[in-house]
Amino acid sequence: MQHDRGLNENQGSSTYHSFQLKVEHRFTRGIWALLTYTNSKLITNSDNAETLLNPTYFSPYERSRNRSLAVEDVPQALNIAYSYELPFGHGKRWLNQGWPNVLSGGWTFNGVYRAQSGIPFQISSSRCNVPSQFVDFCSPALLPGDSPFLQSPTHFDPSKPVLNVSSFEPASSFDFYTGRGARVQNFRQPGYSDFDIGLSKSVRITERFTFQLRGDAFNVFNAHHFNTIGTFIQSSGLGGSAFNTDVASPGFGTWNGNVSSPRNIQVSGRVSF
């Protein structure tokens, strides 16, 4: 009863430290730019990804083991945003009279670039022969002096494992034993970067009504990263694992097919009043 009751208790805690930098400037001639950078560390004993159906916690008798890096820990994140009002049309330098003004005026070009570190790996064993009253999660430790990687997680042969199963406590050891690994490990999945651009034109129809035509290209360079950032199955913005992280699985360490979203182009219109 104590174990079940714990599922419904709000007893999570976290520690977050960060350095945050923000530089914003509005230049002359319709140019605006913003740069933000965050260097941080998030430690917690629970995560927002946990549910009643997929818990990752240790025995009530080993509660201290729950404290580790957070699954959503992203130590470095850089964002650069800008917008530029093109120098055409009313009040601008060129084509500011007559029909040329109507066609060429009101255009704004903008873009956003983001680069961030990858989130930590969470290694587990589905073979966890421990009574459920005592534990719901077996966490293999990385063996001392061993590297978790057989290949680079960013440049690899997909027919071969990226993670080295021999570097962790074996699945066969989890008989009335929960492992010595942290709830979340301190080595990381691939990072992520993205560049989006947009072009919009605003037309004032009357004093009250304004029409905006807009075109956007997300991931304009069609870059692919081995996580699920931006995909329909991932809404947190952090990205899920692209690798099998279950040491009891024959496919441990192999790519599971997950990849970030491809280029996406859309055109939209909006009436404001």
For 21, other C-beta atoms within 10 Å of its C-beta total 10
Tell me the Ramachandran region of residue 239: left when phi exceeds 0, alpha when psi lies from -120 to 50, beta otherwise. Answer: left
Give the Cα separation of 230 and 242 in Å (integer): 13
Domain extents for the chain?
2-272
Give the Cα separation of 237 and 222 in Å (integer): 18
Query: Per residue of the chain (273 residues), what is the pLDDT tens digit?
Result: 334 445 555 667 889 999 999 999 999 888 999 999 999 999 988 776 554 444 566 666 677 888 899 988 999 999 999 999 988 877 777 766 766 666 777 899 999 999 999 999 999 999 999 887 776 789 999 999 999 999 999 999 999 999 999 999 999 999 999 999 998 999 999 999 999 999 999 888 888 888 889 999 999 999 999 988 866 555 556 677 899 999 999 999 999 999 999 999 999 998 988
* 231 Cβ contact list (under 8 Å, min separation 6): 258, 260, 261
For the whole prediction, is pTM greater than 0.85? no
* 86 Cβ contact list (under 8 Å, min separation 6): 30, 92, 104, 107, 108, 109
